[in-house]
Structure 1
């Protein structure tokens, strides 16, 4: 027994002392030396190391240490995927879904997502659910979509939690249940997902699955708005303008309308124009308002077109 213990200790020590091509690649990558990392990962990948093949694929996909080359990325992801590496299977599924480095092929995307999903990879489970929900590469099947969303959502995948919430909201593959919708949106929102925060704000705003609560709605809209979510910024602006869930504050309303308007949100452009017409939270400036209404109109917002016409008829330049 003693001799075996000594042998094991020797092997462990040898493993610590020896650094192979893959380990050298990892060290170089961690230090930001991407050219060196590519060199070492290539050596290990050529020797059949699946992890090195995966990393090499990622570096080609992101253009790190090499010129971005999706075809080369797909090649290395496939090498690793065929060895059963779940993350490589997921990435290869993405390449087939988006037609990057390979011909777009939803059937192949489903095939590789499923391999990774069956190994328990949450991201692959979510994407497989999306494919079933949209009928891409498989027959559309909402129940199957829900099944995979649930698996990913249970692992804490925020995107899957949102998708599952949407299925409960629309009654697709499950009985419509707004309480379940709120439950899943909240899980994703508490992880900091802006889309989930916005959706949760809507549920409180409309009293779906929860008691209507404008204060709680404003809270979640603000969290999403602070992350740059344009729709949340626009609605938060409306809440400040109308004093719903927050103290009425025209300057705050203008602030959030402007943030959304700068992202091209047509409704916010129109709303900011109204603030300039009324001189609420800003100095009255009908010329500025007309410009904003014009932007909203150009973005397909009919009310912006109507407001632009009114100011035009008033001779505002």
Structure 2
């Protein structure tokens, strides 16, 4: 009965099982620490079957780490699952990693997020990064940048890795999930870069270049709240989507991103955002490339409306570099 109640999450029953099987558990632990893994397995197996979640967790480790020979991820996942369902934080984290990578189980980002979240909720600080990452990318869970930023900040406080520092810095730089803070972004990029994180090294260089350009051109016009001089692809992507445009193609391998722009430029059908290549010193097409040009496309309409749009853009951003097409013959760019 204690086993059934423990599996259902009752902490008293879980503690009672630990007390009942304490001698066997300690015996197995002594064997494990003496590297007698096969003997430890024989001692722990009966009590693990009866619901002792610490023993279940150790069995998961024995199989995952290949203590008996070749790693058996499928068997490891089985035991981690049993322990995780009793709120074992470590076991939930290990199971989530197996689910994320598809080791011993079918790859399942939704289930991976579920167990990362369970591990994080039970205090496993290693899981904070993954919860934040999954939320920021919308993997296995609905995208939630505010929650992602909160989990990254919790990870920064409890488990500050260079990956946490770099990813949180990007959120500060873009203003994702909260206020934009370029000072904090620079500090975190620097910490991560000093730890050898190559992404942070490049991101720091990009941010410093952008700040230098913006300092040189403090009165440059803004679009979607972003100063156009020195605006990077990452910044523009976030601001454009925040403004209401729906991306139809955003790929670093193309020098222009495409958006359905109806919500931000009434009457238009498409917006193309072009970027200068290798402006941040990275490979062809990357997050740090600078904004180069924006095109709006309009369907065939009356000439008066097209001229009104052109005047509006010219007053705010200067006369267009070029325009082509005819309002009487198809679309106009």
TM-score class, shorter: 0.5 to 0.7
**Inter-partner Cα distance in structure 2 for 1:186 and 1:40:** 50
Aligned to 1:29: 32
Secondary structure in structure 1 of the residue aligned to 2:81:
helix
Aligned to 1:106: 109
Aligned to 1:181: 185
Q: Give a deviation string over 1:131-169, Cα, whole Å, max 9, x none.
A: 111211112222221111111111133132332123223
RMSD: 3.2
**Inter-partner Cα distance in structure 2 for 1:61 and 1:74:** 8
Aligned to 1:131: 134
Secondary structure in structure 2 of the residue aligned to 1:136:
coil
Preserved contact between residue 179 and residue 210 of structure 1 (Cα < 8 Å): no
Structure with the bigger percentage of helix: 1
Gaps of 5+ in 2: 1-17, 213-282, 285-333
**Inter-partner Cα distance in structure 1 for 2:153 and 2:74:** 33
Aligned pairs, number:
194
Aligned to 2:197: 195
Q: Residues 122-271 of structure 1: matches in 2 within 5 Å?
A: 122-158=125-161, 159-185=163-189, 193-195=195-197, 199=200, 203=204, 207=208
Preserved contact between residue 126 and residue 152 of structure 1 (Cα < 8 Å): yes
With structure 2 as the length reference, what TM-score do the two structures score? 0.51
Aligned to 2:122: 119
**Inter-partner Cα distance in structure 1 for 2:164 and 2:64:** 24
Preserved contact between residue 179 and residue 208 of structure 1 (Cα < 8 Å): no
**Inter-partner Cα distance in structure 1 for 2:138 and 2:183:** 27
Preserved contact between residue 136 and residue 144 of structure 2 (Cα < 8 Å): yes
TM-fit CA distance, 1:170: 3.6
Higher relative contact order (CA 8 A, sep 6+): 2
**Inter-partner Cα distance in structure 2 for 1:105 and 1:163:** 23
Preserved contact between residue 63 and residue 69 of structure 1 (Cα < 8 Å): yes
Aligned to 1:88: 91
TM-fit CA distance, 1:82: 0.7
Gaps of 5+ in 1: 1-14, 212-300, 303-317
Aligned to 1:69: 72
Q: Give a deviation string over 1:237-261, Cα, whole Å, max 9, x none.
A: xxxxxxxxxxxxxxxxxxxxxxxxx
With structure 1 as the length reference, what TM-score do the two structures score? 0.53
Q: Give a deviation string over 1:221-242, Cα, whole Å, max 9, x none.
A: xxxxxxxxxxxxxxxxxxxxxx
Structure with the bigger percentage of strand: 2
Q: Give a deviation string over 1:95-133, Cα, whole Å, max 9, x none.
A: 222222222222211211111222232222211111111
Distance change (3 Å), C-alpha of 1:205 and 1:185:
closer
